[in-house]
Amino acid sequence: MGWIEAAFLVPFVEFAFMRRALLGALMLSLSAAPVGVFLMLRRMSLTGDAMSYAILPGAAAGFLLYGLEIVPMTLGGLVAGIVVALAAGAVSRLTVQKEDASMAAFYLISLAVGVAMVSIRGSSVDLMHVLFGTVLALNDDALILIGLVTATTLITLLVFKRALIAECLDPLFLRSVSKLGSPVHFVFLGLVVINLVAGFQALGTLLSVGLMILPAAAARFWSQRVETMCLLAIVIGALSSISGLLLSYHAALPSGPAVILSAGCAYVASVLVAPRGVLVTRLPRTAHRTA
């Protein structure tokens, strides 16, 4: 038992920064993973990736004005994300361009502007902090922000669950029988933005989407029910957070990438061995054909 305690418990028992990092990562898993499930079901996974870049100029503006302060960078990222989401939606509705193309254009512009803004004042260390985050440096203010986002997300998902599921399955039908179609779409984009802003505090703009998409994508191989996928995504995200932080502690790896790598390993394992993965769905058919 001694080595098990040393490997799994001691890092969280002895170091307060590890406990704060674990709490923040677990709350992000509880909040972002279900949002990732709906993103995936809507075939909008890359939209989440684009939105993670979209918050960068706002966060960079907060950094230029106040330095690495959580509130200005968070508010800036939130405003930038909402502006990009609304702008991309407006372009897709007022022109012939689809939303994915307009989102791609805006996120590329946002990424370039954000990196340029951070580089004006900051060093390469500051740029790495904004892009990749520092989950081990989460303070009480960051944890409060993540907690508020988690509570808001869970309440919103419970209230709009039926409409969200209906829009995933048949958005045209939802709009034909209810006036909730367009409002629910923008409410959902708002959830994506606030979760990316919360994840930005821990994982940076480039990795915050990882804890949203990878657990959801892995859960898709284990179940077809939306509720079950959401629960599995939360569990996978939580286990990835724990294993990633332990890997970071013992192997001296960057904490954010270690968490996302753990989630990536869970995804690869699900692709291979899950009930809807490659080994179960493909190998028996191949063997039958050979026979």
pLDDT at 30: 94
Angle at 147 between CA 141 and CA 150, to 5 degrees: 145
DSSP 15-44: -HHHHHHHHHHHHHHHHHHHHHHHHHHTT-
- What's the total number of domains in the chain? 1
Residues 6+ apart with CB under 8 A from 185: 167, 171
- Residue with more model confidence, 134 or 220: 220
Average pLDDT, the chain: 81
Domain limits for position 50: 2-290
The CATH number of the domain holding residue 151 is 1.10.3470.10
pLDDT at 101: 75
Q: DSSP character for 291?
A: -
pLDDT digits (tens, 9 = 90+) for 244-287: 999 988 888 888 888 999 999 999 999 999 888 888 777 655 44
Q: How confident is the model at residue 122 (pLDDT cuts 50, 70, 90)?
A: low
Q: DSSP character for 9?
A: I
Q: Of the candidates 253, 216, 272, 249, which has an alpha carbon nearest to the alpha carbon of residue 30?
A: 216
List the structure tokens of 58.
């706002």
- Residue with more model confidence, 37 or 199: 37
List the structure tokens of 113.
């502007």
pLDDT digits (tens, 9 = 90+) for 55-100: 888 888 887 788 777 778 888 888 888 888 778 777 777 776 776 6
Q: How confident is the model at residue 192 (pLDDT cuts 50, 70, 90)?
A: confident
